[in-house]
Amino acid sequence: MADRDKRASLRGAAYAMFALVAALISLTVWLVIIGWIRAAIATAIGAAFLAHWGRNCYYDLNSDEHNNHWWRRP
């Protein structure tokens, strides 16, 4: 039961982050159109960070895929 709640919570967090990524991508495009290149670069970096974080939340934290990352290896 708790494992199912944990997975649902992680899935919800991932979907929320993916929605924020979509908003940041549209903001990035708008900033490029009006010529604010530095702000567009900053929002693109933020979108990439949130997309990576959302991807990590989407996978169960106890899965083999997550535990095989370089920071978890002995």
Alpha carbon dihedral 1, 61, 12, 27, in 10-degree steps, equals 180
What pTM did the predictor assign? 0.62
Q: What is the pLDDT of residue 68?
A: 57
**pLDDT (0 to 100) of residue 48:** 86
- pLDDT, tens digit, for every residue of 20-69? 888 888 889 998 898 888 888 988 888 888 887 777 766 655 565 555 55
Closest CA to 61 of 21, 17, 3, 1: 3
The pLDDT assigned to 46 comes to 85
Q: What is the pLDDT of residue 47?
A: 86
Paired tokens of 1 = 């039961």
